[in-house]
Amino acid sequence: MKNLMEILIELEEHLFQPDVRSSSSELTQLISDDFIEIGASGARFGKANVLARLPTEVPPEITASNYELRMFGLDCAQLLYKAKMLKAEQPLPIYSHRCSIWQRNSSGQWQMVYHQGTICAPF
């Protein structure tokens, strides 16, 4: 059986996949209704914006490393990691420190309730 860190990393990386990013139904399952994202620009987004934006974007290639898990309770956890993102329209990769908060809902499914990426120096 997988431990919680393995489960949350798998869910996080599932959101990196182009077919998931382009699927409103998959995004709806993985992202909580009260989801909030603080983007690299500092702009704040909710679930409706993510569902409207992600399926229309050219998906970036994202690789992640250095995962850390912090528990906020039995049903709430924070996943911290470093990410390298390659966008088709940009010649150089973007490096960031990322943070996602995952919460287990009443049906037992883990959903992302918060995400933030902060641009950093290459690593």
Chain center to CA of 22: 14
Q: pLDDT digits over 81-93, tens only?
A: 999 999 988 899 9
pTM of the model: 0.94
pLDDT over 70, % of the chain: 99
How far is the C-alpha of 102 from the C-alpha of 109, rounded, in Å? 10
- Domains of the chain (ranges, CATH numbers): 4-119 (3.10.450.50)
How far is the C-alpha of 32 from the C-alpha of 13, rounded, in Å? 17
Supply the pLDDT for residue 41.
86
Closest to 116 measured CA to CA, from 101, 103, 99, 96: 99
Q: What is the mean pLDDT of the chain?
A: 95
CA 50 to each of CA 7, 44, 111, 121: distance values in angstroms, whole numbers, following the listed order: 22, 11, 14, 26
What mean pLDDT do residues 3-15 have? 97
The bridge status of strand 110-119 relative to strand 76-86 is unpaired
Instruction: Indicate the pLDDT class of residue 59, thresholds 50, 70 and 90.
Output: very high
